[in-house]
Structure 1
C-alpha cells in the first residue's frame, strides 16, 4: 500500500512540474483540466481539505465538566472526473486520504485502508436515461447525497449518521422527465451488493434495492442548488424539491442496513430483511433555505439470534429520525443557520433513549463553498437527562 501511495505522489508531482508554465483553471474549478488531442477523453483533477477543531463538554452533577478538544484533518480528498471516448460516457473517481476517510479496514475490505470513495462510470445511453456502474452514493436521503464540500453547517445531522445508506457497489438507472419548463420529475433505481463500500469478500447476505423519486414543481434549482447547502445562488423565484426513497436490503448482515457493524452468530452471520424510508424537501428563495428530512428503519426481526434462538446482543437500529434546518445568506455572504434533529430508536429493541440536538451555525462564504469558514455550537440531550455541549470550527479549501 505504501508503494501505491508513493506512486500516486510521484504522479501528482510530475503533473505539478509539467504544469508550471500552464495557466490553470479559475479557483474552485479544479487544479488541472485536460482534453485529449483527438477530443476522445477529458479529465478534471481537483483537491480539497477540511480542517476541523472540536471542543465538547459533558453535563453531570449539575455542572459541565472539563472541556475535551480535538484537532484533525477531517477530510482530505483527490477527485478526478471527465469523459471517456464520448461525452455520453462520463466517469468520477474520488480518493480519501485523511484518517477519517480511510478508517474501517477489516477482513471484509482485505484489511486495507478505504481509500476509494467513488469509482463510477455514467453512460447516457438513450435520451434522458443514464446507467451508472461502480461504487458511489446510493440515491438515499438528500443530506447524505449533498457533498460534504457543500454542507450548510460544519457536518451532517444525527439523522444522517444513524440512518444513511451511504455508498455501495452496483448498478443504478437514472431518468428524468421534463413535464414542462417549470416541472421536472426524476427517478432513480439501484441494485447493489448491500454491505457498503470497498468490500472485497463478496456478498455475505442478499442484495440491496433502492428506489427514489424527486419532484421539482417549480423547476430546476440554479447551479444544482437542490443538492447544495444554503441558497448561495439567491434564487430569484421560489424553488422546491420533494423527494422520497425506499431501500430494501434483503438478508442484511449489518445492523444499519449496509452500514454499521456486522451481526455475527454461531453460524457465521445473522441475516434479516431491513427496510429504510426517507422523505425530504428543499426550499430556496432569495437567500432563504429550508431543508427537512424524515427517516424510518424497520427489520423483519431486529434482534440478532444464534441458531438456538438465543440473542447475540446485536440489534438492528430500527426507529425514526427527523431533521429540519433553515438558514439565510446575507448579501455579504455571511449565513446564519439553525437546525433541530431528533432520533427516536425503538428503546425496547435498541435500549437507547430519545436523542435531541439543537445547532446554531455561522458561515462565511469567501468563494462560495470552495473557500469558507464555518462554526457551530450544538446542545444535545439524551433521554432528557444526559446533556452535552459541542463547539466546532472548520476551514474548507477546495481547488
Structure 2
C-alpha cells in the first residue's frame, strides 16, 4: 500500500511540476498539494519546497509580463493629448493648431515700391493649420519633435494647400549644461523668429524678420545653460548647418556656422514666447548676441527654404545668380543684439540686426589695358531693428478686463546702409484677448507702413489684420 501511495505521489508530483512549468496558478494555494499532504504522500518539507518554487516561478512570470507589456496612461497637458508609460520612459503628445486670419489691403509685408502700389486685397485665409507631435523614448532625456504644416499659403513659403514637414528634431538632453540637437528646426539665432507664431503678441512678426532671419536649417547644435540662478547665469548655442534652409539639400561643400550667447540678467531664464501671461512677480530679463556666416546661393531664408532678397544690391540690380557661380556666389554673414524682459504684466522685446552680403559674381567692370572685362565683387550692408512692448492694463486699472493686452511695435529696415532714402518703417498697435493663454486667443493689429523714396516724399499704407489662434 505504501509503495502504491509513493507511486501515486510521484506521478502527481511529476504532473504538478510539468503543469507549473507551463502555467502559473492564479491563487495562493494549490488543491493537489494540499490533498497529497493530507494523505501523507508528501511530507511537510516537500510541500514547503513546492510552494516556494511555485511562488518563485509566479514572480518571475509577472516580471516578464510587465517588461513586455508596460501599461500606458492617457493624459492632457498644454502640449496636447498624449500617452505615457508607468515607468516614465516613453511619452508622446499630439496637438492640433488652427490660425485663421483676415487682412486688408495686403496679406504680407510691403517691402518694395511695387508692393505699396498694387491692388488692395481683402483676404481671409487659413494662415497655419498644423499637427505637432513630440515626446521622449527609451529615456526621458531622449526627446523628439516634429511638426507638419497642413495648410500653408503661397505667402508663407509654399504652394497654397501644400502639406510639408517643417520641423523634425531629436534632443539628447541628459544634462542642462550640455544638450545636443540634430534635425531641422528654427535655429536659435534670434528670439523673434524662434518664438512660435502661436505665441506672438502681434498677428505676425515684424518687417525685420523676412530680411534678417536664418529660419529653419538642417544640422546639429550644441546648447546648454551654465550657472543657473547666479548673476552670471548664461545660455550658449553653437551649431553647424547646411545653409540651404528648410527641405533642401546642400548644393555645395560649404556650411553655415552659428553661435549665440545669452545672459540671464537676474538669474531667471525667459521662455521662447511673448507677453507676460504668467505675471512675473520678479523681473526676468536676457541680453543676447548672435552671429552666423554662410556661403551659398541664398541671400535670405524663410519657411519656404532658401530664397532671394527682394531688395537691390549696392551696385543696383537684384540678388540673382549670374549663372557662373550659383552654388557659392554669395557670402552672407550677420550679427544680432537682443534684449527681452518680463515683469508684472509688462513684456519688452528688442533686436538690432546687421547683415552683409558679398556677391562674388555681381557684375562686369570696365575693360582694363588687356582689353578683357573683370568681375567686380559687390558688398551690400543691411541694417534693421524692432522694439516692442505689451502690457495688461488690468494690473494698473482693475476695472479693465484681465484677458485684454495692448501692445506697440516700431521697426525699420535699411536695405543699403550706404544709400539714402530707401528705409522701410513699421508702426503697429495690437490688442489681444486671451481665452486660454496663447492656446486660444484673438488678436487685432493695425499698422502704418512707409517707404522712403529718393527725390520724393515717402509712400505709405495702412494695414489691418484680425486673427483667431487655437491650439488643442
TM over 0.5: yes
Give the secondary structure class of the aligned counterpart of 2:438.
coil
Look up the match of 2:189.
140
Does the CA-based 8 Å contact 1:205-1:252 persist in structure 2? no
CA distance in 2, matches of 1:102, 1:83: 34
Q: Report the CA distance between 1:318 and its aligned residue.
A: 3.6
Give SS of 1:87's match: coil
Of 414, 418, 439, the match for 1:370: 439
When the two structures are superposed, what TM-score results if normalisation uses the length of structure 1? 0.81
**Cα pair distance change 1:240/1:88, threshold 3 Å:** same
Are positions 1:47 and 2:57 aligned together?
Answer: no
Shift of 1:317: 6.7
Change in CA separation of 1:195 and 1:178 when aligned onto 2, cut-off 3 Å: same
The 1-side partners of 2:404 and 2:253 are apart by: 48
- Are positions 1:337 and 2:397 aligned together? no
Structure with greater helix share of residues: 2
Answer yes or no: is 1:97 the counterpart of 2:146.
Answer: no
What pairs up with 1:166-185 in 2 under 5 angstroms?
166-178=215-227, 180-181=229-230, 183-185=232-234
Query: What displacement does 1:178 show?
Result: 1.8
Question: Residue 158 in 1 paired to residue 158 in 2?
Answer: no
Of 299, 305, 321, which aligns to 1:264?
321
Among 76, 101, 115, the alignment partner of 1:25 is 76
1:128 aligned partner = 177
SS of the residue corresponding to residue 25 of structure 1 reads strand
1:185-196 matches, within 5 Å, as 185-196=234-245
1:327 aligns with 2:375: no
Alignment of 1:230-309 (within 5 A): 230-249=275-294, 251-256=295-300, 259-261=306-308, 263-267=320-324, 269=326, 271-301=329-359, 304-305=362-363
Quick one: distance in 2 between partners of 1:69 and 1:311?
Answer: 45
Q: Distance in 1 between matches of 2:74 and 2:242?
A: 43
TM normalised by structure 2 equals: 0.69
Distance 1:356 1:102, change over 3 A: closer
Deviation of the 1:68 alpha carbon = 2.6
* CA distance in 2: counterparts of 1:302 and 1:365, whole angstroms: 50
Indicate the structure whose relative CO is greater, using CA pairs within 8 Å and at least 6 residues apart.
Answer: 1
Instruction: Please name the residue that 1:393 is paired with.
Output: 466
Report the number of matched residues. 359
Q: Residue 128 and residue 66 in structure 1: after superposition, are their counterparts in 2 closer, same or farther (change >3 A)?
A: closer
Q: 1:23 to 1:299 in 2, by over 3 A?
A: closer
CA distance in 1, matches of 2:289, 2:235: 11
Structure 2 unmatched ranges of 5 or more: 1-72, 309-318, 366-372, 395-401
- Runs of 4+ aligned structure 1 residues displaced above 6 Å come to none
Query: Which residue is 2:50 aligned to?
Result: none
Structure 1 contact 255–316 (Cα < 8 Å) conserved? no
Alignment deviations for residues 170-201 of structure 1 (CA, whole Å, 9 cap, x no partner): 0000011125456520000110000101014x
- The answer (yes or no) to whether the contact 1:102–1:113 under 8 Å persists in 2 is no
In the alignment, the residues of structure 2 paired with residue 186 and residue 344 of structure 1 have an alpha-carbon distance, to the nearest angstrom, of 30
